[in-house]
Chains A and B, each alone.
Chain A
Amino acid sequence: MQATIGVEDLTMRYGNHLAVDHISFDVFAGEIFGFLGPNGAGKTSTQRMLTGVLPPTDGTARVLDHDMARAPVPAKEHIGVVPEVANPYMEMSGWQNMLLAGELYGLPSRRLRERTELLLTEFQLWDRMHDPAKRYSKGMRQRLILAMALIHEPDVLFLDEPTAGLDVESRRLIHDKVTELPKRGVAVFYTTHNIEEANVLCNRVAIICRGRLVALDTPEALKATFGGSQSVVVAFNRHVEAQDLARLDRVTHVAQEGDKLRIYTPSPGAVVMQVVDFARRANMEITSLNTLGPSLEEVFVSLSSGQRPAQNGE
């Protein structure tokens, strides 16, 4: 299967600082590829090289079989971009911003108007389309920017932190629109530092840390590979000290989380039985009890801190 985005040994150096360090991966049509990393990890530099905005110091980035360093313009015709910190033109209305975006992608006038009407309606901006963008809320501006990126029906969509700091309604709308795209064969490159967002939206996730790619797999496979921390979360009707539960068999450690206790263990089933016994002996009621698998956040944290993959039960 031909990759829509092909990255090989991609490197970006700013003076002495190595921002992106020889990373390689492929992204295919119809998938949402999450690009996850802490701040300053090299996510935005990578996206800028992939969108032909910055030339790489070394390596190649190919989008739809076009080399983004040598001939970016033909590929850019088929790319939609939501940059990290982007604004529409504040003095121009939503409608005018959409027309500008469409003209930059060479859309014929009639098609441009049709797409503009459709997208402004879908992104719930129709009623305010003639207002200058400076009167829009942050969520409305971000929706407008995504609508502008979709004006030419791109085959590849790059989004850099598209929901950072947005209200729930705008975030949900953007998530809904993004998840629709792979059904039409669009490849989505989704840069984020929001682990839960990557977990929910993405088919595969690459984690970048200090410029190097430290993991690449499906969210579930990553959790399984790094899954040293299955846990049981329990709440009682009375206060219980964490150290009382830490004495149970096969418990690695216990953490207080609000009114609950989280018991880390490689054997959640065995621990549940002991917790029930513990509650019975102490004449307490269990008000809630859940077993949790490892989270993508833990994978991310362990990789960010430079830890090696832990084996299940370790």
Chain B
Amino acid sequence: MMRKCWAITKKNMKIYYLKGPVLIFGILFPTFLFLAFAIGRNVPPENLAPGLIGMALFFTASATTPAILPFETRTRTLERLLAAPLPLSVLVAADVLSAFMFGLFLSAVPLLLSFAFLGVAVVHPGAITGAVLLSALCFAVMGTLLSSPPTDNPSSIMTLSNLVRLPLIFVSGVFVPVSQMPQWGQWLSRFSPLTYTTELIRSAIGQEAQVGQWWCVLVLIGFTLAFWCVSLRLHSRNMSRRLCL
């Protein structure tokens, strides 16, 4: 089953990494959003790094999966995949894997930028590794969940996806650390998986974090599992409607 999963992942990488919506909402959009926040403000680089890395992971890892199923539906390639000898979970896992790798590759840029040019020092290498791997996986699965509505129009899913993603970046300690947010913001931040990414990165580079490292890890795992289960259930339920589009 691993080989079949990898075959679909390779196909996704070949076809979907360079699709317009993936490049726009996965790379350009977060880059300009970050620049709009950072340029002209006197923010110390080490304060920028957690938000920069967290946002890069969030947008890149959750950008690919929302595009795949609507494109497969539109281009009429989905039915043959569904007729192949693999369970739906493997098909979804392959989409997650390609999104996870997209997130990892592209997040390497702000990571290296932070460590090489912004002078950010890693105090806990295990924590930064865990933060990157777990967060990329969590956001990739979240992207799969966002792609569950049965449509053959990628822009509909991208719109929905941004409706969910944009508010989250403002309550997740990306631009302002959670500890400096108002009470209502701190309360809301608990429900965003991105909060636990930025907090984990913050503590990995030796900054004060509101949430403990292990708690961050556990919550990210919890979000990933919850997104996975709900996503599988919704995809399973919506697949017949998707084929009838």
Query: A residues touching B (Cβ–Cβ < 8 Å)?
Result: 14, 48, 51-55, 73-74, 76-77, 79, 81, 83-92, 96, 100-101, 103-106, 145, 148
Contact = CB atoms under 8 A, between A and B. Distances in A.
Contact of A104 (B7, B14, B76, B244): B7
DSSP majority for the A interface? loop
B76 A79 contact: no
B116 interface: no
Contacts of A103: 3-4, 6-7
B80 interface: yes
A76 B79 contact: no
A103 B227 CA distance: 28
B82 interface: yes
Interface residues of B, number: 25
Interface stretch (B84-92, B159-167, B211-219): B84-92
A104 B77 CA distance: 14
Minimum-distance CB pairs A-B, first 8: A103-B7, A76-B85, A81-B83, A83-B79, A104-B84, A77-B85, A53-B82, A87-B76
A90 B19 CA distance: 13
A87 B75 contact: yes
A91 B6 CA distance: 18
Interface of B: 3-4, 6-8, 10-11, 14-15, 75-77, 79-87, 239-240, 243-244
Given A83-B83, A87-B75, A104-B85, A14 B4 contact: no
A108 to B, nearest CB: 10
Contact of A53 (B3, B79, B87): B79
Contacts of B86: 73, 76, 104
Given A86-B76, A103-B3, A103-B7, A52 B15 contact: no
A88 B77 contact: yes
7 contacts: A51-B83, A53-B83, A76-B85, A81-B80, A89-B11, A91-B15, A106-B85
A54 B243 contact: yes
Contacts of A52: 83
A85 B78 CA distance: 10
A293 to B, nearest CB: 38
Best-buried of A52, A86, A104 by chain B (most CB within 10 Å): A104
Given A73-B86, A90-B75, 15 more contacts: A51-B83, A55-B240, A81-B83, A86-B77, A86-B79, A87-B77, A88-B77, A91-B15, A92-B11, A92-B15, A103-B3, A104-B8, A104-B84, A105-B85, A148-B80
Contacts of A51: 83
Contact of A79 (B75, B79, B83): B83
A145 B143 CA distance: 30
